[in-house]
A and B are shown apart, each in its own frame.
Chain A
Amino acid sequence: MTTPTTPTAPPSPPARGRRRAPSRIGRAASRAAALQRPRVLLALLLLLALTCVMLLDGYLRAEVGGDERVRTGASASDVPDDVLDGGPILTFPGGQATTVSVPDKTIVLTFDDGPDPTWTPQVLDILDEYDVPGTFFLVGSMISRHPGIVRDLVEQGNEVGVHTFTHVDLSYQSEARVTREVEQTQLALAGAAGITTTLFRAPYSSETNAIDDYSWPVYQNLGEDGYTSVFIDTDSDDWKRPGVSKIVEWATPEDDEGASVLFHDAGGERSQTIAALPKYIEKMKAKGYTFTTVSGAMADQQSPQQQQQQEQESQQPGGGRQPEQSGGGLQAAHHKATGATLYEGKALVAAVAVAEWTVPALSVGLVIVGVAVMGRFAMMLVLARRHHRQRNRRRFSWGPPVTGPVSVVVPAYNEKECIEATLRSLARSTHPVEIIVVDDGSTDGTAEIAESLGLPGVRVVRQANAGKPAALNNGVRHARYDIVVMMDGDTVFEPDTVRHLVQPFADPAVGAVAGNAKVGNRRTLIGAWQHIEYVMGFNLDRRMYDLLRCMPTIPGAIGAFRREAVLQAGGMSDDTLAEDTDITIALHRAGWRVVYEEHARAWTEAPGSLGQLWSQRYRWSYGTMQALWKHRRSLTDKGPSGRFGRVGMPLVVLFQVVTPVFAPLIDVFTVYSMVFVDFRAALLAWLAVLGVQLVCAAYAFRLDREKYRYLLMMPLQQLAYRQMMYLVLIHSCVTALTGGRLRWQKLKRTGEVGTPAGNG
């Protein structure tokens, strides 16, 4: 995280809008809204599409709308006896239930649950080798995921039927769901192979004598719609994997009867099916059997003239079937998909393909974020502990105590509420200081207030409004001493702060020191959230970066610099909106060491409203990206600059840009898992992550001897604050991409932060 820098100079922007809004605030608000509305809309649309992708993916995997109930042992009193005792092919011509048997010495090979990318092609190879057709009852979700296999399967001359979209027991489903299941499967079929079919087999169905009172209406309704429900005569039970010989034995009908035989080409490990199939075909061929499809069996059972008559009828309404392609009526159940069905089907298959790519890609992103976040926590804990031990060891010292006077630069722009407390706190300093207040063209009498206090050692330098970097540079120019402490006009130091802050300069390699900024106004909810964030940021992040020697930011609220180092770097620059990050990186690149001094505490006033917090963070994240971009050449540099480029930059980019940008995935996946997959497991996972964060936060609080009760706000922080932070980051990324101009916005101050001791 970037750290507090108080905006000092909003260079009143030239009015860009053509229309004049009544007030300045109103104008700014409308400009902000105009800037953001399309983005919000786009973000919502992206979220909608992402939700669709995930719902679709969940639907395909039966996470969404899945139903694993299977009915067994129900009564069959409503089912006509001649259906229960009839052949395996059930139709309803004219609304009258009719069963058709497979002719003697004929086998209809049926394969359920496919297509499967592993097993179905192997089945097709076998069928091709023996030149026998099969009838495949396909599951719509699998069709849409593997459309190419279905195309091959149909081209090879096999017949296909609908086996529902999600393989649910239809006897439990509403009529609307049954219709949807069948229609969606037809769509997938149309998209994959350009056909629809009139064959249907219900999941978990078997012989006609197993039809019960609950499934019977399903067949009736579908039959009246023109579907042919296909049952079985013999069941290979190959899904039980009983061994090749058993599969062949169970699949073989008695005597020389014909049979509709059930195999499975999907739904699990099917190597036994693949091994048994050639043996079975050879055995039945040896017995004199012929192989056909369901349509082939139906055609054989019909008298020739009926067949002719039907063919004529069927030509008229649908214009559908393609006798050319279907080797002699073996695919009579197929109809060519046309118009909306065809295009919608193709769109469905494409949509599924998108989901099939997107969800794994997002999962990878999620894993990266997860590993990065957890790795960061682990690294922070280890390094923070080491840092704490190292710096607080009794024998530890930076060198001979630094006792000489230092300059304190206080840039101030309209700080009338806070400036008095700031200056009075500096005057109580236990270290000799000269105080330079740089008034950046304030209009509220800040300079006059500063002068009227009559504090010893305070000088007020006035300049025309030129921005915070210019004010700081002006202060550095006026500084008499070699060490310059920079702070904000709204920050309050403890008496010991300056003394602690400058001690590291005893080490001549140290070019700058970061202090420990604390949130003074922590009694409100957002104050408490920022308090947690600051404590973690300063006690974990900064300690880690200190030891890794790549601290990206000296907080504007409290930092000390060697004057020489700042001048060498060319002073503060107004290239970026985060001049504190910019100068820190510049010092690293020049070979200076930048360290963190935890005992130098400064009390600062955090933004009190969400709007202010938003604009502050917007500026920080935008400024950080600007600074990283400005120093991008360090990646290929040699020496200390290259070291920062190759160690510091990647860490900062990973933790402050990449992770937050992908962080929304965590929320989306969490919500999705909670709603559709397993609420308890998802909740536990979420709580576990929260627990890890709590442990880290508690450790940070312990290092800083803060009161733990603020941690109670942490679960809530996960539900609002975190989301706001990543939205800010995404927003500033987009602003960076569009090249829009982002300006300083002065935060409103109340001046309530005053007494360091009283807080907490």
Chain B
Amino acid sequence: MFVDSSGRRARLLRRLGLLVGAVCVGYAAVLGLAFMGVGISVNPSSLLPFGAGGDGPGGPGPGSGAGPQGGVAPTGPPPSAGPSTSPSAVPSAASTD
């Protein structure tokens, strides 16, 4: 039973194993890189309009000038717990245990 003397099945499986192993390594590598943020540049300072030049959008002026100080009114006190529902709490249905 089960014996394959030609060795073809073993070869096939060895290749499959290699492939699976490579995929596993690749997966771990991608996650490692993505988690640590290796090799990416999403630092927007290089992209931003007011990068180097000190003359941004009119210094501190315009914003607060036209500003709706009153708009801050409705809820005075500190942020409170805000929407305490962190996204993680949402769909943990069919997960771990």
Contacts from A to B (Cβ < 8 Å): 38-39, 41-42, 45-46, 48-49, 52-58, 60-63, 66, 68, 70, 72-74, 82, 85-87, 89, 91, 93-94, 96-104, 112-113, 116, 139, 141-142, 166-168, 179-180, 182-184, 186-187, 190, 196-198, 203-210, 212, 224-227, 233-235, 237, 239, 250, 253-255, 257-259, 264, 266-268, 298, 301-303, 306, 310-311, 313-314, 317-318, 320-321, 335, 337, 340-341, 344-345, 347-348, 350-351, 354, 359-360, 363, 366, 575-576, 622, 625-627, 629-630, 669, 672-673, 677, 682, 685, 734-741
Contacts and interface: CB of A to CB of B under 8 A. Distances in A.
A96 B43 CA distance: 18
Interface of B: 1-5, 7, 9-10, 13-14, 17, 20-21, 23-25, 27-28, 30-31, 33-37, 39-51, 53-60, 62-64, 66-75, 78-92, 94-97
B46 A42 contact: no
A446 to B, nearest CB: 30
B65 to A, nearest CB: 8
B42 A72 contact: no
Given A52-B27, A203-B86, A354-B27, 16 more contacts: A61-B88, A70-B81, A85-B69, A93-B55, A96-B56, A180-B35, A187-B34, A198-B48, A210-B78, A226-B51, A239-B85, A254-B71, A311-B49, A366-B97, A629-B1, A669-B96
Nearest to B7: A739
A264 B37 CA distance: 28
Given A187-B37, A314-B48, A104 B66 contact: yes
A335 B44 contact: yes
B20 to A, nearest CB: 7
B39 to A, nearest CB: 5
Contacts of A89: 63
Contact of A72 (B9, B46, B78, B85): B78
Contact of A576 (B1, B27, B73): B1
A721 B5 CA distance: 33
Contacts of B86: 62, 66, 68, 166-168, 203, 267
Contact of A49 (B24, B36, B78): B24
Nearest to B61: A98
A677 B75 contact: no
Contacts of B39: 340, 344
A56 to B, nearest CB: 6
Contacts of A166: 86-88
Contact of B50 (A94, A184, A627): A94
Given A73-B78, A99-B64, A259-B68, A306 B57 contact: yes
A340 B86 CA distance: 30
A267 B34 contact: no
B50 to A, nearest CB: 4
Contacts of A227: 44
A629 B2 CA distance: 9
A625 B2 contact: yes
Given A113-B87, A626-B2, A233 B47 contact: no
Secondary structure dominating the interface of B = loop
10 contacts: A56-B31, A85-B72, A87-B71, A166-B88, A168-B86, A204-B83, A208-B72, A239-B82, A337-B42, A344-B34
Given A258-B71, A310-B50, A347 B30 contact: yes
Nearest to A212: B78
Nearest to B92: A61
Nearest to B43: A225
A91 B43 CA distance: 15
- Max chain A C-beta neighbours (<10 A), residue from B33, B48, B84: B48
A345 B66 CA distance: 39
B2 to A, nearest CB: 4
Contact of B85 (A100, A235, A267): A267
A219 to B, nearest CB: 13
A472 to B, nearest CB: 19
A235 B74 contact: yes
A239 B46 CA distance: 37
Nearest to A316: B51
Contact of B72 (A180, A233, A366): A233
Given A38-B14, A141-B87, A196 B44 contact: yes
A49 B46 contact: no
Contacts of A318: 46-47
A209 B67 CA distance: 13
A187 B40 contact: yes
A741 B51 contact: no
A12 to B, nearest CB: 18
B30 to A, nearest CB: 4
B79 A72 contact: yes
A253 B96 CA distance: 44
A42 B79 contact: no
Nearest to A67: B86
- Max chain B C-beta neighbours (<10 A), residue from A97, A314, A575: A314
A266 B85 CA distance: 9
A736 B17 CA distance: 15
